[in-house]
Amino acid sequence: MAEDSFNADELNPPEWLNVQFIEDVLRVHEKASDLQVTNLSFTPASAKGDHYASIMFRAKVDYKTEKGSFFKSLIIKTMPVEEGIKKDMFADSPLFKTEIGMYSKVLPECERILREVNDTSKLYVDCIYHSLEPRQVIIFEDLVEMGYAVVRNRFLTQEEICSAYSKLAKIHAISMKFIYEQPEFLEEFKYGMCEMPGLMDSPIINAGMAPFIDLLGRTPELRKYQPYFEKIALHFKDRVKDVMKDYRTNPVPGYNVLCHGDYHCRNMMFKHNRETGDFEDCMLLDYQGCNVVPMAVDLMYSIYMLMGTEQRCGQLETLLNYYFSVLLETLKKINYQGTMPTPQGFWAEMKRHRYYEFLLLSTFLPVSIGLRNHAMDLADLLHNEETRKKCYQVKDVVEETKVMLARFEKAGYFEDL
């Protein structure tokens, strides 16, 4: 893969990421004080656009102990050392602390609870090292070596999406058990991606509603929705912030969960049989945005960042109902004692938090389609207003907007704005 296919800040690892550091990590992990690294190389661990809040390297490590010679591939996630947008926006955020808490505390406990009811689902890749000081670092086993890959250059299949929803539903269900029985267990998970400093005032969110309203005005079939969004535009950011704080300020039993917070197709990897190509497993990644909020937050986000056109326009209710069926099944298996969610309550919850979906439709859908269908550059979309405006002019954005707004109208999203 050419150098311009990677993020520039991942082409050269920082100075501290060296043989001595890797030896120290592996000596503890392998419980081998005599371990010596004999060869070490680094490459970027992800393609441009796969993630934004950190930098990632793949370390290929040859090492030896008294037991023999070995090889290990590691994924190292850390923060950039050079000044720039990533460092400015995320350096003081709780992202790494959140992700470490998920991998070291919450996810292992979730799996323990599943094992008690004979569910063998694997919810996370093994974390072999983590630290916040003197630098923020997390090191994982390399899923690529286990046969997993990020899906590129195509949309996910229904089978792949259902697998991803199954894993999410199980985490959500167990978190409901935590919230009901021991809410203090999740007390530290308060801050999602939307609460990062400056994110809600970023250009991509601030400048998204105006071109969307313009799209409605120049499309005859959509003009009837323009007055709704002119009204929505006046206070939609404040309403979205209210959604993100809903559990802390206005909790409603039964529908608050520990959300993933950034649940999109590049934050998961899929395993297919090497010989037959048959689907085998999905692994969720990047738990750095996890926080307790309404389950609608993950699900609405997934409509625009996980599903493709076919699923959004033709399978949306089927897929979300599948998620809900796994949620209910898991709640019953783990003996959840709280009030059981109902299908009617579930869809009412989606409507109650419609302002978040207004944001996603008006800003995230055009950008997502620009990235996935028209090979637009993420950095250019984030920082170039003219490039963003082009997203609102492509035919597939207009056509999907027609489908989504018809669904909104049918579900009563425009009532009592």
Same-domain check for residues 186 and 85:
no
pLDDT at 193 over 70: no
Tell me, yes or no, whether 251 and 349 share the same domain: yes
CA distances from 203 to 108, 196, 197 (A): 38, 14, 13
Q: Is 97 within a domain?
A: no
Cα 336 to its chain centre, rounded Å, is 26
**Residue carrying the six token digits 């999109």:** 264
**204 and 73 in a common domain:** no
Residue 47's pLDDT is: 64
pTM: 0.91
Could you report the per-residue pLDDT of 62-115, keeping only the tens digit for each? 999 999 999 999 999 998 755 444 444 455 678 889 999 999 999 999 999 999
pLDDT in tens, 404-416: 999 999 999 999 9
| Residue recorded with tokens 């530290």 | 188
185 & 84 share domain = no
Tell me what the mean pLDDT of segment 220-243 comes to.
94
**Which residues are CB-contacts of 36 (< 8 A; sequence separation ≥ 6)?**
23, 63, 64, 65
Q: What is the mean pLDDT of residues 131-143?
A: 94
In this predicted structure, what is the pLDDT of residue 153? 85
What is the rounded distance in angstroms from the CA atom of residue 255 to the CA atom of residue 135? 36
Domain-terminating residue out of 90, 111, 134: 90
Q: How many structural domains does the chain have?
A: 2
Q: What is the pLDDT of residue 390?
A: 83
Least confident of 84-88, 89-93, 135-139, 210-214: 84-88
The closest alpha carbon to 10, from 86, 72, 62, 95, belongs to 86
pLDDT confidence of residue 83: 44
pLDDT for residue 85: 44
For residues 388-413, average pLDDT:
92
Q: Containing domain of residue 78, as a range?
A: 3-90
CA distances (Å), 160 to each of 157, 231, 271, in order? 5, 38, 10
Residue 80 included in any domain: yes
- Band (pLDDT 50/70/90 cuts) for residue 31 is very high
Q: Which of 7-16, 28-37, 60-69 has the lowest mean pLDDT?
A: 7-16
Domain of 271: which CATH number?
3.90.1200
Under the banding of pLDDT at 50, 70 and 90, the label for residue 163 is very high
Is 102 a member of any domain?
A: no
| CB half-sphere exposure, 23, CA atoms < 13 A | 13
The pLDDT value recorded for residue 6 is 43
